[in-house]
Structure 1
Amino acid sequence: MYLTKILRLGVTIVTALYGSMVFGQNKADRPNIIYVLADDLGYADLGCFGQKKIETPHIDRMAKDGILLSNHYAGTTVCAPSRCALMTGLHTGHTDIRGNKANQPEGQYPISAETRTVAECLKEAGYKTALVGKWGLGYPGSEGDPLKKGFDHFYGYNCQRHAHTHYPDYLWENDMHIDIPENKNGKRKVHSHELLTNNALEFIRQNKEEAFFLYLSYVVPHAELAAPKEFMDQYKGKYQETPHPGGHYHKQDSPKAAYAAMVSMMDSDVGRIRSLIEKMGLAENTIIIFTSDNGPHLESGNDPDFFDSNGIYRGYKRDLYEGGIRSPFVAWWPGKIKAGTKSDHISAFWDFMPTACELAGVEAPEGLDGISYVPALLGQEQAEHDYLYWEFHEKAGKQAIRKGKWKALRLGAKKDKSADIQLFDLSLDPGEKQNVADQHPKLVKEMKHLFANSRTPVEAFPFGDQ
């Protein structure tokens, strides 16, 4: 084991030296990368994507000054497997993690030691790397612990269940359990979002002379629905409310106001991050990406229909209809990304690994499902996917494919591999209301073949194939 660690250290040093030779000592050749991930934010929960009831001026300004991608997709429709696709460059037919599988007493099923993450690739390229927020891809001390998957710094929630409260009595900092006495014994004084943002800002300050990668994996607006008073006051009394009585999540008398407050709070802090980058003179050497891990939830009294969180799209979290997996995407990189641009390039979470590697000027690992979307961001000719694939392991299993304008969906796939396929023409029917499978038998046959051949079995997440 000791020899293995020495060899890995040697590889890291050599790779970093090679990166220095290739890019020189001027870190401007390799941009800082800040990837901000919202938790359960709907496609249309931002003003720049059509939201009317929630104020998001900072992200809207980022879209105005950068680029908006209208055809971007999450890894899948729940947290852990979606984030695994983001970190590994693999879709959910190939990832280690394909569902929310718990570990007791804390954490989730881990990414394997052999699977490389984007953080590992960037660290080997000489980047300082940080995860601030929610992980969910390996319990503390496991092979999937963030400190073992390429992150120099970790602050936040290791466990998704722990993240079901925004007033935790502890968080993790690297491998240390950090108590939050203000929240002990049921007290709810310090919202974790504030702690996460402050930690992220400090990481940026401490690494302003380095090339850095910050994965800011926020926990809002995931349930519980709760926000500090200053943001609740912005919306309290504006809507007719049905109080949430509590249970697994904390009670909330004003769930609509709380959801809106959480989104605006996050927007405000994205603004703080951009402001710091600008004040430190890093703007032209920093790309900020903002998106969401899946569609809006229906928990803790949330009402996505009231906010029209999905716009024209059908479905919510745990659906593979567009509303469950299509994500808002905004990127800002002054001097590189042309202001006020939009792209309909079809992209997904597993594209981030090759994108980050291209930005860093290093080769992406072989065998990825992703395609770099750097050309689309820069207004250049962009390679396209033949198709995108998703699977979901709850609710009897679901599969989905997007191939050009066509969207195929199979429900009950875990139980019945011959289950009927629904087919939608998204160019004519973006809301997936008209199943046209009967009109396109050849296309349905092709989709059946793709469903059968787009995945490899994994023991930990059987899909009716073991």
Structure 2
Amino acid sequence: MGVFVSLITRAEDRPNIIFLFADDQAYDTLGCYGNPDVKTPNIDRIGQSGLIFDRHYNTTAICMASRANVMTGLLEYRTGCNFMHGPMAQSIWEHSYPKRLRSSGYRTAFGGKFGFAIVEDPRKGGSDNKYEHLPLTDFDFWVGGLGQTHYVTAKNKYLAPYAEHYPHSTRAYGAAGVDFISESVKADQPFCLTLFFKAPHRPTTPDPAFDHVYRETHFRKLPNYGREAGRHLAPQSKMGRQYPRFEEWGYHTEESYQSALRTYHQQIHAIDVAVGMLMQALENQGVADNTVIIYSSDNGFFNGSHGLGSKVLPYEEGARVPLMILDPRVPELLRGRRTSAVSGNIDITATIMDLAGLGHTHEMDGRSLMPMVRGKAKRVRDRLPLIQVWGTAGTLAMGVVTEQYKYIFWPYGEGMDPREELFDIQFDPYEMRNLAVMQENHPALQSMKSHYNEELNRWKKNAVPHNDYKPFGTIFDLALSWEEKKTALPKQFE
């Protein structure tokens, strides 16, 4: 799927590439996505001068798996990588975009929370809390950290030199990126900078330099805010930590909600400042006109929607995130557009490969989004699978989303029936009407189940043999009862 040969092949035609990835940033948290309460002028500039993707999803909405997705262009059952499953095999990492770009002459950098381990044999385990399991030597410039990393700059080994001027890590990553850009221009090499910010991931630790930004702001609530707006959802969706975190993280009262949102958005504002540092560096170095900027997040965040906190679940606020691509080389008339076509995190690798003039060395799940950015196509895919194989057995789920509909299957059946959900995203963007219950014979239900079965068949055919992915071909099978398949459940979910 998605094999291409790019027209951009000469080294002198290849743009510089900056890929910026936030951690837990919801889709509605930017001015260019319609939020009137926030101050994100620099990130907004990316969208206002590029292409905004209004229906961009993480195929797995949790940090470890999502980072593996964007680095390789592969779905989770092909990376073999997530919490409760295990690390990535070195043989899979060899096809990642950082490896491919560096071998083709790009100068590469990584900063932030890498988030997954890479080992020769994933059956023997591995940990992103060990530097020997992180690919430091696969980059020319490294300011990445262990595990979840630290907001305190000085506590991150390779970022620590920036601590004096930038004691909070968010701006420190921006400063490191500025240095990398300068070094790359001096070296006269095309460059690819990848920054995976820790912000706004909990524990909430905002940069005090921006304490004033939202001190008096009263943040709005989305129409699906609160417990009442989640009563119609599958009971399985309430069996994980997302349900208690609605109260534990302070979304349940007006005062605590405003406090939580002020802190959350303050962390995103700091990312915006770091983005401004990078954009100014591009101007100062004279390379802004040949540098493509991609901005997204590893998963969304509920912030109280449906009476939930955190992420992971395949509802809109959990899985859908911002995506903007700014290519300054496209004609002016193609800038400042937005699209409702479905795209996924797996498409980012193919997009970066396309920009670098590289074809695929293996069969990726992702597809380049550059035909859309260049105005050559309205869409590059008609659907996308959504995967949830982490946490409790009750919250295991698989879904498929198209431009109009989303179908989710919850297989768990202990003390309850497995559930189906069908939402018309075009007319019900906040997922308040489960059409699978309201209209049992809804005309879209069978077609969405057909799409689902096609995606599941790909899972059965292509899942890696390690890290407990094969059993989910059975667990997510619509034709089998829970009693018939619960023995296939990997032991960590029992």
Same fold (TM over 0.5): yes
Paired with 2:49 and 2:161, the residues of 1 have a C-alpha distance of: 40
Alignment correspondent of 1:273: 278
Report how far residue 238 of structure 1 moved. Answer: 4.2
1:119 alignment partner, one of 84, 92, 98 = 98
Report how far residue 92 of structure 1 moved. Answer: 2.1
1:151 alignment partner, one of 129, 139, 145 = 139
Alignment correspondent of 1:443: 447
2:195 alignment partner, one of 195, 198, 216 = 216
Report how far residue 144 of structure 1 moved. Answer: 4.9
1:41 alignment partner, one of 17, 25, 28 = 25
2:392 alignment partner, one of 383, 390, 395 = 395
- Cα deviation per residue 1:150-208 (whole Å; 9 max; x = unaligned)? 42222132212xx3x412652143xxx958998xxxxxx92111221111111111101
- Cα deviation per residue 1:262-305 (whole Å; 9 max; x = unaligned)? 111111211111111112111121001111111126xxxxxx24
Report how far residue 321 of structure 1 moved. Answer: 0.7
Amino acid at match of 2:404: K
SS in 2 for 1:34: strand
The answer to whether the Cα contact below 8 Å between 2:31 and 2:39 also exists between their aligned partners in 1 is yes
2:375 alignment partner, one of 374, 379, 391 = 379
The answer to whether the Cα contact below 8 Å between 1:353 and 1:370 also exists between their aligned partners in 2 is yes
Alignment correspondent of 1:355: 351
Cα distance change, pair 408–377 in 1 and its aligned pair in 2 (3 A): same
Paired with 1:134 and 1:414, the residues of 2 have a C-alpha distance of: 36
Alignment correspondent of 1:286: 291
Q: Does 2:243 match 1:258? A: no
SS in 1 for 2:432: coil
The answer to whether the Cα contact below 8 Å between 2:175 and 2:277 also exists between their aligned partners in 1 is no
Report how far residue 328 of structure 1 moved. Answer: 0.9
Alignment correspondent of 1:23: 10
Paired with 1:413 and 1:270, the residues of 2 have a C-alpha distance of: 43
- Cα deviation per residue 1:389-408 (whole Å; 9 max; x = unaligned)? 12112232111111342211
Report how far residue 113 of structure 1 moved. Answer: 0.7
Paired with 1:31 and 1:333, the residues of 2 have a C-alpha distance of: 9
Q: Does 2:352 match 1:323? A: no
> Could you list the runs of 5+ residues in structure 2 that have no partner in the other structure?
1-5, 118-127, 220-246, 251-257, 476-487
Alignment correspondent of 2:456: 452
Report how far residue 112 of structure 1 moved. Answer: 0.8
Amino acid at match of 1:459: H
Paired with 1:448 and 1:61, the residues of 2 have a C-alpha distance of: 37
- Cα deviation per residue 1:196-233 (whole Å; 9 max; x = unaligned)? 11111111111012111111111111112222322012
Alignment correspondent of 1:11: none
The answer to whether the Cα contact below 8 Å between 1:289 and 1:332 also exists between their aligned partners in 2 is yes
State the TM-score, normalizing by the size of structure 1.
Answer: 0.78
Q: Does 2:341 match 1:341? A: no
Amino acid at match of 1:146: P
Paired with 2:211 and 2:286, the residues of 1 have a C-alpha distance of: 33
Amino acid at match of 1:460: N
Amino acid at match of 1:265: A
- Cα deviation per residue 1:29-72 (whole Å; 9 max; x = unaligned)? 00011001111111010011011222111112222222211111
Alignment of structure 1 residues 92-107 onto 2, 5 Å? 92-97=76-81, 99-101=82-84
How many residues are aligned here? 406
- Cα deviation per residue 1:359-386 (whole Å; 9 max; x = unaligned)? 1111123211111100111111255324
Q: Does 2:432 match 1:433? A: yes
> Could you list the runs of 5+ residues in structure 1 that have no partner in the other structure?
1-18, 103-108, 183-188, 246-252, 298-303
SS in 2 for 1:235: coil
Cα distance change, pair 70–404 in 1 and its aligned pair in 2 (3 A): closer
Paired with 1:282 and 1:180, the residues of 2 have a C-alpha distance of: 24
Amino acid at match of 2:10: F
Cα distance change, pair 118–431 in 1 and its aligned pair in 2 (3 A): same
Paired with 1:421 and 1:244, the residues of 2 have a C-alpha distance of: 29
SS in 1 for 2:211: helix
Q: Does 2:190 match 1:205? A: no
The answer to whether the Cα contact below 8 Å between 1:408 and 1:447 also exists between their aligned partners in 2 is no
Report how far residue 461 of structure 1 moved. Answer: 3.7
Report how far residue 448 of structure 1 moved. Answer: 5.0
Alignment of structure 1 residues 49-68 onto 2, 5 Å? 49-68=33-52
Paired with 1:281 and 1:41, the residues of 2 have a C-alpha distance of: 30
